[in-house]
Amino acid sequence: MCEIESAIGMFDSGIGGLTVMQRVMERLPNEQLIYFGDTARFPYGDKSPEVVRCYTRENAKFLIQQGIKALVIACNTSSAFSFKRLQEEMSIPLVDVIGPGAALAATKTRTGHIAVIGTEGTISSGAYQHALAAICPGKIRVTAIACPLFAPLVEEGFSDHAATHLIAEEYLGFLRSTDVDTLLLGCTHYPMLYSAIKKVIADHVALVDSATACAEALAQTLHCHAISRTTAAIHPHRYFVSYNPSKFCTHASAFLSIPPQEVSLVAS
């Protein structure tokens, strides 16, 4: 198989990266995608940077062994701790969610005050804060908020549960008394909480999903490397997880317009 016909790989700590996959499927309908969810080691947000880097390298190695032509880190915590190092180590194009997401958020704000929500790991890394400061030096204020319970709620299928709405109020209710006008969803699980989040923030606040920006960045990357498919792939998308494929398959229908028919189990 020539490089253009090869698949694109992407991974996340669980099912959250499927929000990125859906946007990539919409933006690049000709491409074949291979997704790996590291469900056995979820969540990444409370792991140390060293552990996350180790997991990220292992995930990347597995996908590269599948013969991919490009890799998407569809996990904010992995992107925060590993993107630059992995970029130096890899010979294929690499796309993350943080740079594209920050760039999109910077175009939305009018007050210059952006709130970023994410896992404890992503927020403590300062990755979004640094990215936004580099895009608009001295012009953007960032309120960074760790929301450690959000991703587990999504993994359990509780995106619209009453408890989720209470937790969203606890985490984000104070933003109504600020001049924040843009809320950046700094975890790929969080788009599934759109309804709960929207109910507890001011109506004028724009929600920015890094998945859309990531898909566009991937399209541009493939174009720059001249490896975009011009005809539809003949092979279906493939899905792998490190634990409980049946649960993954059940919950994937909430993320994807075309849910997976088969999910393979691999050792993490």
Mean pLDDT, range 40-64, rounded to an integer: 97
Per-residue pLDDT at 261? 87
The mean predicted confidence, pLDDT, of the chain is: 95
Mean pLDDT, range 39-66, rounded to an integer: 97
Per-residue pLDDT at 268? 65
Which is nearest to 251 in space by CA: 152, 173, 179? 152
Report how far residue 15's alpha carbon sits from residue 42's, in angstroms, rounded to the nearest whole number: 10
Report how far residue 266's alpha carbon sits from residue 86's, in angstroms, rounded to the nearest whole number: 22
**Interval 231-262: pLDDT, tens:** 998 999 999 999 999 999 999 988 999 899 89
Which value, in Å, is the radius of gyration of the alpha carbons in the chain? 18
What's the whole-model pTM score? 0.94
**Interval 99-119: pLDDT, tens:** 999 999 999 999 999 999 999
Which is nearest to 22 in space by CA: 162, 211, 179, 224? 211
Per-residue pLDDT at 2? 64
**Interval 116-169: pLDDT, tens:** 999 999 999 999 999 999 999 999 999 999 999 999 999 999 998 999 999 999
The phi, psi pair for 155, rounded to 5°, reads: -60, -30
Task: Identify the residue whose tokens are 């975009």.
Answer: 228
Token code pair at residue 87: 């970029």
**Interval 177-228: pLDDT, tens:** 999 999 999 999 999 999 999 999 999 999 999 999 999 999 999 999 999 9
pLDDT at 32 over 60: yes
Question: Are 14 and 23 spatial neighbours (Cβ–Cβ below 8 Å)?
Answer: no
In the chain, the amino acid numbered 23 is R
Question: Are 153 and 187 spatial neighbours (Cβ–Cβ below 8 Å)?
Answer: no
- Give the angle subtended at the CA of 210 by the CAs of 31 and 128, to the nearest 5°: 135
Per-residue pLDDT at 3? 86
Q: What region, left, alpha or beta, does residue 226 occupy, with left being phi > 0 and alpha being psi -120 to 50 degrees? A: left
Mean pLDDT, range 18-38, rounded to an integer: 97
In the chain, the amino acid numbered 252 is A
Report how far residue 183's alpha carbon sits from residue 195's, in angstroms, rounded to the nearest whole number: 13
Query: In angstroms, what CA-CA distances link 11 with 1, 111, 167?
Result: 22, 34, 27
Which is nearest to 56 in space by CA: 89, 15, 103, 30? 89
Mean pLDDT, range 7-16, rounded to an integer: 97
Domains by residue range for the chain, with CATH = 3-96+212-265 (3.40.50.1860), 98-210 (3.40.50.1860)
In the chain, the amino acid numbered 66 is Q
**Percentage of the chain modeled with pLDDT above 70:** 99
Active site residue ranges: 75, 187
DSSP 8-state symbol, 118? E
pLDDT at 1 over 70: no
